[in-house]
Amino acid sequence: MNLLHKIRATLALVAMFVNTVIMVTPLYVLAILKLILPINGVRVLLSKGLVLIAETWIAVNNGIIALFSSVRWRVEGLEKLSKDQWYFVVSNHQSWADILVLQRTFNRRVPFLKFFLKQELIKVPFLGLAWWALDFPFMKRYSKAEIEKNPSLKGKDLETTQAACEKFAHFPTSVMNFLEGTRFTQVKHDKQNSSFNHLLKPKSGGAAFTLNAMAGKLQTLIDVTIVYPKHAPRSIFAFLGGAVQDVRVIVRQQVIPEWASQGDYENDPDFREKFQQWINELWNEKDAILAAQQH
């Protein structure tokens, strides 16, 4: 990154911060009304209003990114997308910029993207409360050691997922998941001894829990492959400042198999193996796409 990239990135971040401060005011007003009003139908209407504010916030951010980053976009596969369907969206994960890429790609083309967030992120200034108001699910994952120490925690992950997904049933929603669980780096790849050349191993359990919790509501999978130039920096600062000049987004849709939302991933080894095989086939295809783009 050169000095110009750093200046542009700083200006972009300042503009996005101002946009956030402006947008959270009406969002907080609706969030408070949603909190204090007990009528479910009213809360659903307020939730739709909150989504409209969030989509406007993203649209302005997209304009800011276009102004400062000068990214050349190549996006394919957006045909036949609808705001009237429920989608399960999965993507590879290489940078914090991935979230901005996904929002730029899908804003107002599909129902508002909602991510599973770590519980600690609710403390993030401005955004934490906004995510809560927008019904982003906050997850507290328990390690094997914690479960062994306190067996009552077993299954709490699924209960939390189910409770979060119940809020998605009232109107169309897109549920987003980075199946790798973390951003790709070569160090992480080598530590995992991943069988994929350009991806970390996918964590199938979260996907299985989500599909099960949605009880068949999620019928279409949107598989997203984000491709950055081979030697481009991966930081969000580089993306906003124009050091990343090209971004390619390849979108593929497929029907989610009916069986995928009906099994017990945690307790049924046959279902777990079948589900993992399905996800691994998806990941093999994604790895091949990434490999083809590296040449």
Looking only at the bridges linking them, the beta strands covering 174-178 and 113-115 are parallel
The pLDDT score that the predictor gives to residue 99 is 93
Residue 124 has pLDDT above 90, yes or no: no
Whether pTM > 0.95 for this model: the answer is no
The pLDDT score that the predictor gives to residue 9 is 94
Which domains, ranges and CATH numbers included, belong to the chain? 71-293 (3.40.1130)
The pLDDT score that the predictor gives to residue 196 is 94
Q: Which helix (H) or strand (E) holds 284?
A: helix 269-293
Average the pLDDT over each of 36-50, 61-75, 87-101 and give the range with the smallest value: 36-50
The pLDDT score that the predictor gives to residue 60 is 97
d(CA 248, CA 180): 19
Judging by beta carbons within 10 Å of its beta carbon (0-12, 13-18, 19+), is residue 197 exposed, middle or buried?
A: exposed
pLDDT mean over 243-268: 91
Phi (first) and psi of residue 249, to 5 degrees: -125, 120
As given in the structure block, the two tokens for residue 116 are 């599973």
Average the pLDDT over each of 20-29, 109-118, 161-170, 211-220 and give the range with the smallest value: 161-170
The pLDDT score that the predictor gives to residue 143 is 66
Percentage, residues of the chain above pLDDT 70: 95
Residue 284 has pLDDT above 90, yes or no: yes
- The DSSP bridge partners found for residue 113 are 174
Q: Dump pLDDT digits (tens) for 141-185.
A: 666 777 778 777 676 666 766 776 777 777 888 999 999 988 999
As given in the structure block, the two tokens for residue 14 are 């300042």
**Length of the chain in terms of residues written:** 295
